[in-house]
Amino acid sequence: MDKTYEAIMARKNEILLKSVGLDYKEFENDGIGFDFEKMMDSTGYDYDLMETIQRDNGVGNTPLLDLKNITKLARKYAKPGYGAKILLKDEACNASGSFKARRASISVYHAKKLGFKGVIAATSGNYGAAVASQAAKHGLKCIIVQECYDSELKGQPEIIEKARKCEAFGAEVVRLTVGPELFYQLLLLLEETGYFNASLYTPFGIGGVETLGYELAIQTKEKYGKFPESVVCTNAGGGNLTGTARGLLRANADSLVIAASVNLSGLHMASDKDFNKKSFTTGHTGFGIPFSINPDRSDVPRSAGRPLRYMDEYYTVSQGEVFFVTEMLAELEGLERGPAGNTSLAVAFSLAQKMKEDEIIVVQETEYTGAGKHIQPQLSFAIENGINVEFGNPKDEVPGKSIILPRNPSLISARKLNIDDLRKSYLRSVIKVHSLTKNNLVDTDYLCEELRIDKNKLEKLLGEI
């Protein structure tokens, strides 16, 4: 068969249908929308079954930790009576060292059930390790396709570390330079091998995260007599937040769902020039913003990660603040954890100071750390790439040019994004793709569900754009 880029992309839908086992046409509406809940229910896995699958494969039931010393530090900078209790769901205790094991557990189980001989995932790291770990448990082959290098074949320590983790679980890692070849290579390998597409964005993957939201809600209720007031989720592709929020709803928790990302504004994630100018490989605005306003940019026709349906607030922090908080967690709580969850911890540390002492804010995940994920190699790599690293005020940090570690913890300050701006960007994208006007705008009910607004608010936003 023709294996040129154009030919493979032309066969995209056929390849994806065979490799995922879901016919996404079944979920499409007549207009621009689709039936999200029907897609989520299509897997055949209810909550109890997912929980059982995870428990049998070293996933879930992770501890909820009270960060007593970090809470004390937050209260030091809060006014009297303020400074919420900060809790942390320690997902590094999963088999592969991150919450991504929850996503992989259901996907790989399903691949085994359908008789696939192997699984493939396109990912920069933690999810790849999770897929490889679960594939090892089920005796399946595993290939991970990873954007690893710029055009000079320079790779970040954190990305190289994640590749080593995948290989340690027995996966074959296909390392690529940054660019459009990632999706092409994924499709090519799926077609050549006949393996299962263990995508991050299938309902199997997102459904697996629902156990995380439910667990932390029930654990908090049992230990402290109430659900948390706020839950902070590091946001990249949207699946983490979507699954966690759905789990919270299942537990009937009325917690505020807060998205957190590292601010990398001005850097383009598909740019060879910018690729190594960033010091965070996930959990940043380079993924968080595009996947919020256009969730279907993923490797399946309809992504199950749809964060605008669930997020109440969205905050960003700087690279320097997250590096600082990573050190803070290690030195004050004796927990050495990787940067993804510490993005949420930096936001939680800032927000806790504005909440009352009797309130609870939960950081909903941690990730393992290793040689390349430590602060030192990442900062050293930044300096080698011309990034200025210094202590000062993080608000002065310029992504791609500087990393500013806060002179003291009082300077850690989460910046709130305007979700209505994201909603308008989403609408602009829909209007452009479908050539819509006010006269032929269809599926308004769907748009209201997608953006978590009523029709009056939809009309207002449409008027503003």
Asked whether residue 285 falls in the same domain as residue 401, the answer is yes
Predicted structure pTM score: 0.96
What are 58's two structure tokens? 């070293």
What radius of gyration, in Å, describes the C-alpha atoms of the chain?
A: 21
Asked whether residue 234 falls in the same domain as residue 321, the answer is yes
Asked whether residue 89 falls in the same domain as residue 146, the answer is no
What are 310's two structure tokens? 């669930």
SS3 assignment, position 264: coil
Query: How confident is the model at residue 439, as a pLDDT?
Result: 65
Asked whether residue 193 falls in the same domain as residue 151, the answer is yes
Is residue 379 in a domain?
Answer: yes
N- to C-terminal Cα separation, the chain: 45
SS3 assignment, position 269: coil
| Domain final position from 158, 179, 202 | 202
Mean pLDDT by 10 residues, the chain (465 residues): 92 91 90 94 94 97 98 98 98 96 97 97 90 98 94 91 94 91 92 96 96 98 98 96 98 98 91 89 91 91 96 98 98 95 97 98 96 92 96 97 97 98 95 78 89 95 92
CATH number for the domain spanning 144: value is 3.40.50.1100
Residues 6+ apart with CB under 8 A from 81: 356, 357
Instruction: Give the separation between CA 327 and CA 371, rounded to whole angstroms.
Output: 15
Number of domains in the chain: 3
The closest alpha carbon to 441, from 36, 31, 34, belongs to 31
Residue 448 sits in which domain range? 427-464
Query: How confident is the model at residue 50, as a pLDDT?
Result: 96
Which amino acid belongs to residue 44?
G
Asked whether residue 86 falls in the same domain as residue 113, the answer is no
Query: How confident is the model at residue 434, as a pLDDT?
Result: 81
Asked whether residue 73 falls in the same domain as residue 104, the answer is no
Query: How confident is the model at residue 412, as a pLDDT?
Result: 98
Asked whether residue 9 falls in the same domain as residue 119, the answer is yes
Q: Which residues of 413-424 are buried (b: 16+ CB within 10 A; e: fewer)?
A: bbeebebeebbb
Is residue 124 in a domain?
Answer: yes
Query: How confident is the model at residue 30, as a pLDDT?
Result: 84
| Domain final position from 202, 233, 252 | 202
Is residue 361 in a domain?
Answer: yes
Asked whether residue 116 falls in the same domain as residue 80, the answer is no
Q: Are residues 237 and 291 in contact, defined by beta-carbon separation less than 8 angstroms?
A: yes
Is residue 143 in a domain?
Answer: yes
Asked whether residue 380 falls in the same domain as residue 446, the answer is no
| Domain final position from 170, 202, 234 | 202
Could you tell me the sign of the dihedral formed by the alpha carbons of 402, 268, 124, 164, in that order?
A: negative
Is residue 53 in a domain?
Answer: no
Instruction: Give the separation between CA 301 and CA 74, rounded to whole angstroms.
Output: 43
Is residue 37 in a domain?
Answer: no
Asked whether residue 337 falls in the same domain as residue 400, the answer is yes
* Unique residue bearing structure tokens 């960003």: 316
Q: Are residues 189 and 183 in contact, defined by beta-carbon separation less than 8 angstroms?
A: no
Q: Output the DSSP codes for 334-397.
A: -----HHHHHHHHHHHHHHTTSBTT-EEEE---B---GGGSHHHHHHHHHHTT-EEEEE-GGG-
Could you tell me the sign of the dihedral formed by the alpha carbons of 377, 383, 384, 386, in that order?
A: positive
SS3 assignment, position 77: coil
What are 377's two structure tokens? 């190699």
Asked whether residue 164 falls in the same domain as residue 110, the answer is yes
Asked whether residue 432 falls in the same domain as residue 292, the answer is no
